[in-house]
Amino acid sequence: MTATHPAAETGARERTRRAILDAAVVVLAKSPTAPLSEIADRARVGRTTLHRYFPERGDLLAAVGRYGEQAMAEAGARADLASGDGLDAVLRLCQEYFELSDVLTVAFFAAGINDQDICFSDSTVVDAVERGRHDGSIDRELDAAWIINMMWAVLYASVDHVNTGAAGRMKVQSMTLRSVRKAIAAQQ
């Protein structure tokens, strides 16, 4: 009998867990009420395997919410919010978030996830907005909370626009960045 190395088992378990979460995001983005069997099929695991990781649908949805928060935090890190003027930092963040359209679709529209207390912004976002207000790149008359809420409203509209097929991803991304820029940039 061959002993299984604990690290290999943990790595395999983590890959399976990640495959289930990736599949859940893709499937739920297209159909927020999709059955767990569809998610298991997309992840290429049996339904019993899915239930070993996530015994109830609510457990999976909670994990997808945490997965989304992590993906958004990673997007914030890639946007390098501490660099450049505040407006450019916010626009880089919007571009990174736009790339998470399936994650955002699930966060915005999937029952059981959209009612979770998902953290959509952190202090680095507020800091970037405040920096922009002070460096003159962002309109000083708009407060940070307003700007962040407006950014999320535009991202919501963007995700919906792509999902309904109203325009292609590249066109919507361009319109998203243009809209945010026009809405928050300081008047020259």
Q: Report, as an integer, the average pLDDT of 13-19.
A: 94
Q: Report, as an integer, the average pLDDT of 131-138.
A: 96
* pLDDT beyond 70 at 3: no
DSSP codes joined into one string, 103-124: HHHHHHH-TTTTTS------HH
Q: Which residues contact 166 (CB under 8 A, 6 or more apart)?
A: 172
From the CB of residue 10, how many other CB atoms can be counted at a distance below 10 Å?
10
- Provide the whole-model pTM: 0.83
Contact 104, 151 (CB under 8 A): no
Confidence of residue 107 (pLDDT cuts 50, 70, 90): confident
Tokens of 106: 């699930």
Q: Tokens 């767990």 appear where? A: 36
Q: How far apart are CA 148 and CA 120, in angstroms?
A: 9
CB burial string 170-181: b at 16+ within 10 A, e below? eebbeebbebbb
* pLDDT beyond 70 at 1: no
Beta pairing partners, 76: none
Confidence of residue 8 (pLDDT cuts 50, 70, 90): low
Contact 100, 173 (CB under 8 A): no
The pLDDT score that the predictor gives to residue 52 is 96
Helix, strand or coil for residue 138?
strand
Q: How far apart are CA 180 and CA 134, in angstroms?
A: 18
Beta pairing partners, 138: 185
The pLDDT score that the predictor gives to residue 116 is 60
Q: What is the pLDDT of residues 109-124, one digit of tens each?
A: 777 775 666 656 678 8
Q: How far apart are CA 101 and CA 111, in angstroms?
A: 17
Ranges assigned E (strand) in the chain: none
Q: What is the pLDDT of residues 140-181, one digit of tens each?
A: 999 999 999 999 999 999 999 998 888 999 999 999 999 999
Out of 39-53, 75-89, 97-111, 174-188, pick the least confident: 97-111
* pLDDT beyond 90 at 88: yes
